[in-house]
Amino acid sequence: MRTFAVTSILLPLLASFIPQASATALTTAVAANQRLCFHADADKKGEKIGFYFAVQSGGSFDIDFEVTAPDGKVLLEGKREKQGDYVFTANSVGEYTFCFENDMSTLTEKLIDFDIMVESEPRREAPLKPGQISDKTSALEESIYRLRNQLTGIQRTQKYFHTRENRGMSLVQDTFSRMFWYAVLETSAIIGMAVFQVYVVQMFFTSTGRRYKV
């Protein structure tokens, strides 16, 4: 009974230590010469906004990106970036815009994985009774944040291997396509050369076998 009572007190308390977060994990295709934008809202100042992206396939696996604040100020930008992982503080309330631009490619489509996360700072509230289970709360809070950091590291590792796998598969498919069309071109050249040789030999014997009357 004592364990149940302590647990019933700890769970609501620990829930207040965990940051409130909203995240969006998407995969999108950006066509050649296309600009594609996504939006995330910050409800209050001081919220942490995380932005991660990685080009999975297409061309040299690079893309242009831009992040703008609600007032139109450019917070982050990059040219021909393969991937990025950024965290910044929302200094103003409103809609933040995340854009990808594929202007450097005239034919190639780019496939991109990206995450947009808006996270509130944790609320550290005192226990209902001063001094009650404070030591246990501190230890559990530290364990929760340690586990959270470890899970974040695991997620980043999974995304890294996922990106490497997709890029490797894209390179394999591109190499296979080039080899296939090279084989088709080589076969066509051999067939064309054989037909030309037959035609030349036929013309040679036809011209030498002609008879002329005097």
42 strand-pairing partners: 94
- Please provide the distance, in angstroms rounded to a whole number, between the alpha carbons at the two ends of the chain: 129
Please name the residues in contact with 26: beta carbons below 8 A apart, sequence gap of 6 or more.
38, 113, 114, 115
pLDDT at 136: 54
**Angle at 74 (CA atoms; ends 68, 79), nearest 5 degrees:** 100
HSE-up of residue 15 (Cα within 13 Å, Cβ side)? 5
DSSP 45: T
- For residue 18, what pLDDT is reported? 45
* Whether the predicted pLDDT of 145 surpasses 90: no
CB of 145 within 8 A of CB of 60?
no
Mean pLDDT of 106-133: 68
Q: Please give the CATH topology (third level) of the domain spanning 18-123.
A: Jelly Rolls (2.60.120)
Q: What integer best gives the mean pLDDT of the chain?
A: 77
Identify the helix (H) or strand (E) that includes residue 74: strand 74-81
- Going by pLDDT thresholds of 50, 70 and 90, the confidence category of residue 176 is confident
- Report pLDDT for 1: 43
pTM over 0.75? The answer is no
- Give CA–CA dist 19/145, Å, rounded: 10
Q: Give the span between the Cα atoms of 9 and 107, in whole angstroms.
A: 60
Domain ranges of the chain: 18-123, 135-209
The whole-number pLDDT of residue 5 equals: 40
pLDDT (tens digit, 9 = 90+) per residue, 24-79? 568 889 998 899 999 999 988 889 999 999 998 888 888 999 999 999 999 999 99
Residues 120, 45 contacting (CB under 8 angstroms): no
